[in-house]
């Protein structure tokens, strides 16, 4: 840093340059089907444009963002452990880490009544991408409460080669359409949950439950709601034997399908739970299609689940078309 120039002054200068650049390009951006991204760098040691991820997001001018034609801003995050709550409230943001093991966003805090304060990542704006990052909530398990690592609460969000770490309610896939590829998701109780519509491709789900754990808890309150989780070519592992079910219904019309997944013996033989309400057995849609591995057997599955979907029944769950990905996913 040049002598006599403070870090805040340097950050303000970068923000001003970013604003001028974006404003000058806005007419061109609207006319182009392919938009060149603006690139910022976050480095906790001060070797980038900003020291924290949130500072970089806050510096993105609101004038460059709207719900239909957002300028693309790529934020490269250099390796380090970033202890902060990241709120993505600008559309068209991409967060890119060096790798999920070297670039970590961490926070420690319990669930609260607002359901929004204690997350390492909170996505509020559309067209978001994260790649090569870890999001974790390190609240100790003995505190016996939900500890959400990431809440995804906006349409069209994609995650590539990311990790989500906690023990209860790790990933809140809240609302909108979302895509996860090559991600590692770890927890014990209902650790993938929410009302969103999500496609998980080639992901690794790892249960740390000692007993009575659940990989998913999807919520769909009415048959007309569009949400549901599809897991395609994923791997399911855990620390115990028969210690976790595939899912239970957070809402009566919950919808979850596992297709072509490798299930270890961590998966309990019954597979699913009605969450102590037999009425859910008539409305929830829990399915399995051509899975394999020690925990994939359907002979002991609950009778009311769709344990052996036909190819036609499974077809809607077998590609990212489940979330209309062909219309909005960016090339990676």
DSSP code per residue over 81-92? EEES-EEE-STT
Going 212 to 218 to 224 to 230, the CA torsion angle's sign is negative
Whether 190 sits among the annotated catalytic residues: the reply is yes
The answer on pLDDT for 12 being more than 60 is no
Q: What is the pLDDT of residue 146?
A: 87
| pLDDT band at residue 232 using 50, 70 and 90 as cut-offs | very high
pLDDT at position 38 is 92
Closest CA to 314 of 252, 243, 255, 242: 255
3-state secondary structure 34-58: CCCCEEEEECCCCCCCECCHHHHHH
In this predicted structure, the answer to whether residue 26 has a pLDDT above a threshold of 50 is: no
Averaged pLDDT for residues 191-209: 98
Specify whether the CB–CB gap between 236 and 261 falls below 8 A.
Answer: yes
Mean pLDDT of 223-229: 98
User: Residue 227 corresponds to which tokens in the numbers above?
Assistant: 């949400």
Residues 155 and 124: their CA atoms lie apart, in Å, by 9
Q: Could you tell me what percentage of the chain is helix, strand and coil, using 3-state DSSP and rounding each to the nearest 5?
A: 15, 35, 50
How many angstroms separate the CA atoms of 109 and 89, rounded?
Answer: 21
User: What is the predicted pLDDT for the residue at 32?
Assistant: 36
| Beta carbons of 207 and 215 less than 8 angstroms apart | yes
Number of H helices, E strands in the chain: 4, 25
How far apart (Å, rounded) are the C-alpha atoms in residues 221 and 249? 10
Q: Radius of gyration (Cα) for the chain, nearest Å?
A: 21
Cβ-contact 157, 178 below 8 angstroms: yes
Residue 25's region, left for phi above 0, alpha for psi from -120 to 50, else beta, is alpha
Mean pLDDT of 74-91: 98
Block residue for tokens 């340059």: 17
pLDDT, mean of residues 7-15? 49
For the cut 50, the answer to whether the pLDDT of residue 76 exceeds it is: yes
Give the pLDDT score at 30: 40
Query: Which uninterrupted H or E stretch holds 189?
Result: none
pTM of the model: 0.88
- In the predicted model, is pLDDT for residue 285 greater than 50? yes
Residues in Cβ contact with 182 at an 8 Å cutoff, skipping those fewer than 6 apart:
160, 161, 201, 202, 203
> Does pLDDT of 37 surpass 50?
yes
**Residue 141: what pLDDT?**
76
Closest CA to 173 of 182, 161, 159: 159
pLDDT at 200 over 70: yes
Q: Please give the pLDDT value at position 225.
A: 97
Give 83-139 pLDDT, tens digit per residue: 999 999 999 999 999 999 999 999 998 876 555 558 999 999 999 999 999 999 999
Give me the percent of the chain exceeding a pLDDT of 70.
83
Q: Give the dihedral sign, CA 43/117/122/56.
A: negative
| pLDDT over 50 at 14, yes or no | no
Q: What is the pLDDT of residue 70?
A: 56
pLDDT at residue 109, as a whole number: 84
Phi first, then psi, for residue 62 (nearest 5°) are: -60, -30
Q: What is the mean pLDDT of residues 222-240?
A: 98
Q: What is the mean pLDDT of residues 176-181?
A: 99
| CA pair distance 310, 67, nearest whole angstrom | 39
pLDDT(179) > 70: yes
Q: For residue 293, what pLDDT is reported? A: 99
Calculate the average pLDDT of the chain.
Answer: 89
In the set 49, 153, 173, 190, the catalytic residue is 190
Q: Between 3.30.360.10, 3.90.220.20, 2.160.20.10, 3.40.1360.10, what CATH number should domain 7-325 receive?
A: 2.160.20.10
Render the burial of 152-172: b for 16+ CB within 10 Å, e for the rest. bbbbbbbbbbbbbbbbbbbbb
């Amino acid at each position: 840093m040049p002598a006599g120039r403070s870090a805040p002054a340097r950050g303000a200068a970068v923000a001003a340059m970013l604003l001028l650049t974006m404003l000058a390009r806005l007419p061109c951006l609207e006319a182009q089907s392919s938009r060149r991204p603006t690139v910022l760098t976050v480095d906790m040691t001060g070797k980038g444009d900003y020291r924290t991820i949130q500072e970089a997001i806050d510096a993105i001018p609101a004038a460059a963002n709207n719900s239909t034609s957002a300028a693309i801003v790529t934020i490269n995050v250099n390796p380090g452990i970033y202890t902060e709550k990241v709120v993505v409230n600008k559309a068209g943001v991409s967060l890119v880490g060096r790798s999920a093991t070297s670039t970590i966003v961490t926070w420690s805090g319990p669930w609260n009544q607002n359901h929004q304060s204690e997350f390492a990542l909170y996505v509020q704006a559309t067209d978001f991408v994260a790649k090569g990052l870890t999001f974790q909530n390190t609240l100790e398990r003995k505190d016996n409460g939900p500890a959400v690592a990431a809440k995804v609460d906006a349409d069209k969000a994609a995650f590539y080669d990311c990790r989500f770490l906690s023990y209860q309610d790790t990933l809140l896939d809240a609302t909108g359409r979302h895509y996860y590829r090559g991600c590692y998701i770890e927890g014990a109780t209902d650790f993938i949950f929410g009302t969103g519509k999500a496609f998980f491709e080639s992901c690794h789900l790892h249960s740390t439950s000692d007993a009575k754990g659940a990989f998913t808890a999807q919520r769909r309150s009415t048959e007309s709601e569009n949400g549901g989780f599809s897991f395609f070519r994923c791997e399911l592992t855990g620390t115990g034997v028969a210690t976790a079910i595939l899912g239970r219904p957070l809402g009566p019309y919950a919808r979850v399908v596992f297709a072509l997944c490798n299930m270890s013996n961590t998966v309990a033989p019954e597979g699913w739970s009605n969450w102590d309400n037999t009425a859910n057995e008539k409305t929830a849609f829990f399915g399995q299609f051509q899975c394999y591995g020690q925990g994939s057997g359907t002979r002991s599955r609950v009778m009311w689940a769709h344990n052996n979907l036909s190819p036609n029944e499974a077809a809607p769950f077998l590609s990212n078309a489940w979330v209309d990905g062909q219309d909005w996913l960016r090339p990676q």
